[in-house]
Structure 1
Amino acid sequence: MKIASICAVGLPVFFGIVTFASAEDAHTMIAPGDVKWAPAPKILPAGAEIAVLFGDPSKEGLFALRLKAPSGYVVAPHTHPADEVVTVISGTINLGMGETADRSTAKALPSGSFFALPPNMAHFAYFDEETVVQITTNGPWGIKYVNPADDPQKSQ
């Protein structure tokens, strides 16, 4: 499925229920207790939650969101259309590069870690404990799975 199709179908449905702060606003401040979690959009495997902190992932422009992944969560090899800048807020993400999910090549990145990926870099992730990562990138956000059969929308 093309990224544009994923964004057109999956993102507005999910992100339509969230209010966004934008660059046009004077400022944005969110205390940890004020983060509003909702189920992740269907372009991600079931079980995760997302909180949009700034911007609108379904539109062009800068945005920041947090992804809360439960223990045992896996995201198959995929790419994104824009740079992704990620900080591990809590827990540990196991991040691997490439078009196959070879766990022996993944690196464990604990709380406080940072990584940045250029557009279209294939990568995968798995989580052995509940983990929260903060993703900052430019929209519209999209995920293209290396193997289209890994797209969770195909099984729903």
Structure 2
Amino acid sequence: MTVCRKVLGKGIFNRLLKATAYGQFVAGETLPEIQRTLSKLSQLGIRPLLAVPIEEDVGERTRDSEMESCYDQHLQRMLNCVDLSTGSCPQPMMQLKVTALMSAGLCKTLTLALRKAACAQDLVVHRLVEVMEGKDLTFHSLSDSDSVHFHHSLRRLEKIGRVGHSV
């Protein structure tokens, strides 16, 4: 791509990219462009899938409070994308990466914990739902800091799920 950009020049390269690969995956850069694309897809009987390509940069090392803020910003971007799609698309669908709302390290910890019978009982679905509904529970299979982060993550998931469900 770098060679093509140098040979063709930035302008021609960008137009070519938008007309081919980019245009296949991106509905547009402005709200009117996105609405036109969604309208065309709807007329063809195609339901677009909103894919929000954000997730944690695993190589980043920041303080827990900064990461919570980062995950909250990711949630806000996702909610904005849902808002964009609701007026233009009946029954919008959305794909998201859990690591946009929770650390990859916590995902790994949870995966390992679920393999242990005693820990799996600590992480049953009804307890997760209780946390999503605002209840503060202790997860004995997680460290204190992981438990706090897990609570925040579950509440972010609940927010995006609630908005998606109401659409």
State whether TM-score is above 0.5: no
Decide which structure has greater helix share.
Answer: 2
Q: Which has the higher contact order (CA 8 A, sep 6+)?
A: 1
| TM superposition score normalised by structure 1 | 0.25
| TM superposition score normalised by structure 2 | 0.24
